Chains A and B, each alone.
Chain A
């Protein structure tokens, strides 16, 4: 396969970037999108040019690091996958592919296609945890949990914090991510003592990071590689109202 790539090149967070054209040839349709970038980078290094910086780690779709916005969609044209799981057979010979970094005020570009997603870490640090005392692990059967609830918590916990929801949202809203992280704990008994404190702290941190506001277009749900449901956002909203208008606990 021969392809034309239009890749966002940006020296650092302060400089302005631009799309640069690259030609790649003899690309195998069985390569992953990231492997195609490895080939391109090798070409660039051999020519003495600076390689393109892009985030990647596990390359098996579970770490959430790879983050390219490909032809106007996060992780490219397929649903339910990350960029490392996207294969070149999803494109046609001679295609032009536009590759950009995630775009959000809260995800500043570090260099080229790599963005700083530590705003997500700060949201988790604000309350996305449970406080437990150390000691022996409890008996697993001491806390009965309905199957449907355990499943819903597990589905919310599938979020890999890649940021595709923010990237594709027309408002750069992080509500799908935050609601998944709130729901995975709010649905389980261990999450109850801090439930209403957690939702207030995490939403406050989300707002402080400069993410936009959800307008329910459902784009995040459609693009999420882990299929996180919009029901989580509704649950977060319910918990937030309960926390702010019913609970006496203030954050």
Chain B
């Protein structure tokens, strides 16, 4: 095996893939959350549709989309591999195991939270991404732009979709609460001067991103935005 092959098949090499893809997905969420938050301007989706058109028409963004899917798949596949390895590392389980005495429940449940997010992603992508990229957006807005906003408003009339989105954002919040600081630790960026900053930025990031995303379906369903 080559030197790089050996590096990436080692325990630390597998972790660094999780860390890099995780940080990349964290950056993606900032862009995604900012653009979607344009609906809060409550201008009938005009600015939001403008943003959607920019994202759809920009070649760099389309290329980035491919990188994003590769990153996402790597994150999922690698986590499955790591979970398998980690299960194998303790073949006989404890009769009594008091995990809450020394660690947070969400740090021990990243696999479960991630699986919930994967289920959400299937619904989410078929709701919006498949429509905007493949099946086509049915209506156009006043500026003759594709009306992705209308698709969003229509999807969030269904209470079950709204419930699924809000619950998934709770999963996302806890996934990020551990994942944010954890990614930095895995990258080796643990420094007495910066660790407290990373920790608090991670907590604020997780809460702000999840609350903003969860507020979107709620605001549309309750008619606060129309």
Same complex for A and B? Answer yes
Which of A38-46, A49-57, A100-108 is the contact stretch?
A100-108
* A199, closest chain B residue (CB): B12
* Residue from the list A105, A173, A211, A240 in contact with B91, Cβ < 8 A: A105
The answer to whether A172 and B90 touch (CB under 8 A), given A203-B12, A213-B85, is yes
* Residue from the list B98, B102, B188 in contact with A234, Cβ < 8 A: B188
The answer to whether A222 and B95 touch (CB under 8 A), given A212-B86, A234-B190, A237-B15, is no
Give chain A's interface secondary structure class: mixed
B82 and A72 contact, CB distance less than 8 A? no
Which of B126-134, B137-145, B150-158, B179-187 is the contact stretch?
B179-187
B103 and A230 contact, CB distance less than 8 A? no
A216 and B85 contact, CB distance less than 8 A? no
**Interface residues of B, CB < 8 Å — how many?**
43
Complex interface residues of chain A between 152 and 181 (CB less than 8 A to chain B): 168, 170-173, 175
**Interface residues of A, CB < 8 Å — how many?**
49
B94 and A105 contact, CB distance less than 8 A? no
Q: Does A233 contact B (CB under 8 A)?
A: yes
* Residue from the list B7, B181, B182, B188 in contact with A244, Cβ < 8 A: B7
* Residue from the list B92, B102, B107, B187 in contact with A215, Cβ < 8 A: B107
A residues near B178, Cβ cutoff 8 Å:
216-217
A104 and B15 contact, CB distance less than 8 A? no
A residues near B7, Cβ cutoff 8 Å:
240, 244-245
Q: Does A250 contact B (CB under 8 A)?
A: yes
Cα A217 to Cα B103 in complex, Å, equals: 6
B108 and A217 contact, CB distance less than 8 A? yes
B89 and A210 contact, CB distance less than 8 A? yes
Cα A71 to Cα B97 in complex, Å, equals: 7
* A77, closest chain B residue (CB): B101
B10 and A204 contact, CB distance less than 8 A? yes
* Residue from the list A175, A216, A241 in contact with B107, Cβ < 8 A: A216
B86 and A250 contact, CB distance less than 8 A? no
A213 and B14 contact, CB distance less than 8 A? yes
A selection of 14 A-B contacts at a CB cut-off of 8 Å is A73-B98, A73-B101, A103-B92, A173-B11, A204-B10, A212-B11, A212-B86, A214-B15, A216-B107, A218-B107, A231-B190, A235-B190, A237-B187, A244-B6
Further pairs besides A69-B96, A207-B11, A216-B107: 8, Cβ < 8 Å: A69-B94, A73-B101, A103-B94, A170-B103, A213-B15, A219-B99, A235-B188, A245-B4
B-side residues, CB < 8 A to A, are: 3-4, 6-7, 10-16, 82, 85-86, 88-99, 101-104, 107-108, 110, 178, 181-182, 185-190, 192
A-side residues, CB < 8 A to B, are: 6, 8, 19, 69, 71-73, 77, 98, 100, 103-106, 168, 170-173, 175, 203-204, 206-207, 210-219, 222-223, 230-231, 233-238, 240-241, 244-245, 250
